[in-house]
Every structure is written in C-alpha cells, then in structure tokens.
C-alpha cells in the first residue's frame, strides 16, 4: 500500500505549514492578461491570496511528483492495476470536491 507522510503536502486545510507561519511581501512580474484574469478569479479574497493559494497547490503537486518518483525508484513502477485504482480514487475525490464547491456556491448565492 502506498502511504505518504502528510507533512510532505502540508496541513489538512491546504496550507503549507512553513508558508503559513510567515508572510512576506514580494514583487513579481507576469503578463498583464494573466494578472487580470487572476484578479477576476480572486474576487474579494484579493490577488495576493489567490496567487499564494495557487502557488501552494503547485508546490503540493511538485512535492507529490518527488514522492512518487522516489517511491517508484525504491519499489518499481506502478502496475496498470495500481494506476487504474488511483485513477478511480482521484475521480471520486474530484467529484466530491466539485460537489462541495457547488454547495458552497449555492450557500453564497443564498440558495443553500
């Protein structure tokens, strides 16, 4: 069974613990159209919070990639059956996430 140390991905609420402990102010450069799209999606939470959240997700993905590469180096490549089982679990988790988002959106609109 494949198990992963949860600290590699951060805390349960999606925050990477080391990043949540301290905040800093940074200047970044990005294409204007990307910044404007990010600002639109950020809404009332603000651009900084949106970018921080997006970067946390990216870092979690990179850490997961590192973990999976190390796991395969130690235990061999995943079998087709293992990959199919993982795909099913990911699909279920994704559907659950979409359901939670839809429910939250309905609550915000006053429908739930």
| 56-71 tens-digit pLDDT | 999 999 999 999 999 9
Q: Cα–Cα distance between 66 and 10 in angstroms, integer?
A: 14
Q: How many CA atoms lie within 13 A of 52 on its CB side?
A: 17
The answer to whether the pTM exceeds 0.75 is no
Alpha-carbon distance of 65 to 59, in angstroms, equals 10
| Separation between Cα atoms, residue 21 and residue 4, nearest integer Å | 23
Q: What is the mean predicted confidence (pLDDT) over 66-78?
A: 96
Whether the pLDDT of residue 98 is over 50: the answer is yes
The answer, yes or no, to whether residue 8 has pLDDT greater than 70, is no
Q: Each residue of 22-58: pLDDT tens digit? A: 888 999 999 999 999 999 999 888 999 999 999 999 9
């Amino acid at each position: 069974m494949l198990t992963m140390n949860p600290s590699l991905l951060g805390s349960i609420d999606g925050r990477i613990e080391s990043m949540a402990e301290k905040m800093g102010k940074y200047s970044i450069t990005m294409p204007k159209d990307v910044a404007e799209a990010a600002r639109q999606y950020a809404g009332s939470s603000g651009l900084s919070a949106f970018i921080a959240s997006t970067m946390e997700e990216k870092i979690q993905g990179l850490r997961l990639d590192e973990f999976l590469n190390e796991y395969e180096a130690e235990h061999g490549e995943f079998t087709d059956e293992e990959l199919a089982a993982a795909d099913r679990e990911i699909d279920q988790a994704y559907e659950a996430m979409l359901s939670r988002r839809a429910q939250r959106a309905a609550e915000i609109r006053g429908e739930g």
